[in-house]
Structure 1
Amino acid sequence: MNFATLSLPARLFLLSWHPEKRKFSGGPDLHLTVRAGALAELAGRGLLVEADRVVTPATVGERTGDPVLDALLELVEQSRPRTWRGWITHRSRATLNAVRADLAAHGYLREGRRRVLGLFPARHWELERVGYAEALHAEALAVLRGPRPAEEIDPGEAALVVCAATGKLRSVVTGKDRRRYKDRLAELTDRAGGATPELRALMRDLRRALASAVASAEAARSSGGGGGGG
C-alpha cells in the first residue's frame, strides 16, 4: 500500500491506533511525536535549517500545500527562534489537532461522542480506514525489524519509525523493541537524513530533542506537574 499521499505527522497519528485494542492509544506524549514528525518532514524537504542550534525557515514564504505543515511553517516564521526541542514543545497540541481535523476531512477519522462516568460528554475519534492503519503498522514494523538493509529504506519511512520509537508510540514500538533494535534505530536515523551529511546530523539532533522532550514530560507527570507542551 502506498502511503506517500499522507504526511509524516498524519501517518504517525494513524500509528497511534492499536490493532489489538482496536482504539487510539498513542500515550500522553503523542502531540510531541506528531510535532517532531512534522519538523522532520519539513527538514527533509529542505524547508527548515539549523545553525548554532537554532532552527529557522530555509526560505521565508515557501509552502508545501499541506495545511498542517504550512501552519507549522508559518508559526516558525512568525515566532522567535527556537531549538529543535523548543519547536517540539511549543504549541505542539495545535499540530496534533490540525492533523486530526485534516484526517477527518479526508475520511480517515470520524469524530464521535461519549460520556465519561456516564455523565460528562467527551469527544473521541474513531478510525474509518482500519485496513489502512493495519497495513501502515505492518510496514513500520518491517522497517524496524528488517531484514532489509537501512540504506534501502525510503528516508520518509525511516523517519516515521524513528519518530514512533523515540516518541514511545507503544501502539507500534514497544520498550522491548526499542532496546532490541537500538542499533537499527541509529541506522534508520541516519537513513532518514538521506544522502547529505548535514541532513543526517540534523535528524540525529531532532531525535535527541524528541527523546529529551518526552523524558521531561514523563518526569513532570511523575512529580505531579503535568507537562508535555502547549
Structure 2
Amino acid sequence: MRYRKFEVEKLLYNNPLSNDKHVKDWILEGKAKISFKEDKLHLQNELDPEIHGDNAHWVYWAPKDFPDKIMIEWEFYPIEEPGLCMIFFAAKGENDLDLFDSSLPKREGKYPQYHSGSIDTLHLSYFRHKWEDERAFRTCNLRKSKGFHLVAHGADPLPPVEDARPPYFLKLIKYEGIVQFSINELPVLEWEDDGETYGPIYSGGKIGFRQMAPMKAAYANLKISQVTLVD
C-alpha cells in the first residue's frame, strides 16, 4: 500500500504534559488518577474494574478545538497491563454542537456514550491488550462514530509491557477524508473516508485520550501541527 506524504506548515499546539499546569484546563469524564513523574503525565483508573465494571474507564479531553488537516504527535509509555489505550479526534457533539455543549447528555467514561451516543468522532485504539482475543492477535483499530463503524485496522507493533522499550512515538494525521497512523515512523494504517458510506467527512473538533482499566500508561510531548498533502 502506498501511503500519502504530508508536510508540516506550522505548529498549532505544543504541550510537554510534564506537570499539572499543562493540564489545568483539561476535562476528565469518569474517574482517574492523574499524576506526574519524570516529566510525564501518568494516568490510571481510580475505580476497581472488578467492582465497577465499565464505570472504571474514562476519557481525558484537551479543551481546545483543532481544525482539519492536522498531525497529532505524542510519546506513549505503557506501564502496566492488561488494558486498552485509545485516542478520540475530530470530536464534536451531534448536529455540529461543541463537544461540551450543555444540551448534550452527560458522559462518564462508558464506551457506548462515545461510540453510539450523542457525539460524532473518529477514534483509534492503538494498544489493545485488554481481552484475551486482543492479545492473541494484536491490531490497531480505527472506528467512525456515531455508530461504532470499524473502518480500518492494521497490525499493532507495540509489544507487551514486559518487552516494551518506550518512548514510542505515535503520529496520527487527519486530512479531510484521510486518516493515517504510524508508530516510530512505521506505517500502521491509512484510510480515506468517502463521505457517504458512514455519513459526511468529519472536520475539526476536540482530542481526548481514553484508557480502559486497569491499564497504566504515561504520555509526553503532545504536538498538533497544521499539515499539507505533498504526495
Normalised-by-shorter TM-score class: under 0.3
The one of the two structures with greater contact order (alpha-carbon pairs below 8 A, sep at least 6) is 2
Using the size of structure 2 for normalisation, the TM-score is 0.25
Tell me the TM-score normalised to structure 1 length. Answer: 0.25
